């Protein structure tokens, strides 16, 4: 089945303008907006505008231009939020993939979180 994309997911609706979002930054290939349920003072989601399910789908199948556009927007967000190491105190970037990764929304996204000490890298529960 591979990386079958379901275009009824909530981030696809955000990209189509069907539901609102709190945009932080945007370029031709990616959109950054605030998480609706922030886990840190800065909690921004960066998503590609293309239809990619997960990090591995994006890394394997996106064009070079899409990958560069996505990564540059991540850097722009870190700087704009004041968490970049270039003047700020740092951040955590997380992407969850699939069932074992506990991914809720099946459109690839990177969480950029900071503005506080982020604690242990993972906290496992069954």
Length of the chain: 126
| E strand or H helix that includes residue 60 | helix 55-61
Q: Which of residues 1-60 bind ligand 5GP (CB under 6 A)?
A: 10, 21, 33-37
Q: Which is nearer to ligand 5GP, 69 or 106 (CB)?
A: 106
CB of 66 to ligand 5GP, least distance (A): 20
Which is it for strands 110-114 and 42-48: parallel, antiparallel or unpaired? antiparallel
Sheet strands (E) in the chain:
23-26, 30-34, 42-48, 91-94, 110-114
Site string for ligand 5GP, 87-106 (x = CB under 6 A): ---------x------xxx-
Which parts of this chain interact with ligand 5GP (CB under 6 A)? 10, 21, 33-37, 96, 103-105
């Amino acid at each position: 089945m591979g990386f079958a994309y379901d275009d009824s997911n909530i981030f696809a609706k955000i990209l189509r303008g069907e539901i609102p979002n709190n945009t932080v930054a945007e370029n031709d290939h990616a959109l950054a907006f605030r998480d609706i349920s922030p886990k840190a003072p800065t909690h921004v989601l960066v998503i590609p505008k293309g239809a990619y399910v997960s990090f591995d789908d994006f890394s394997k199948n996106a064009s070079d231009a899409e990958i560069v556009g996505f990564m540059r927007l991540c850097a722009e967000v870190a700087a704009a939020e004041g968490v970049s190491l270039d003047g700020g105190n740092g951040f955590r970037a997380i992407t969850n993939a699939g069932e074992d990764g506990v991914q809720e929304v099946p459109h690839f996204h990177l969480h950029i979180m900071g503005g506080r000490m982020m604690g242990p890298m993972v906290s496992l529960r069954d």
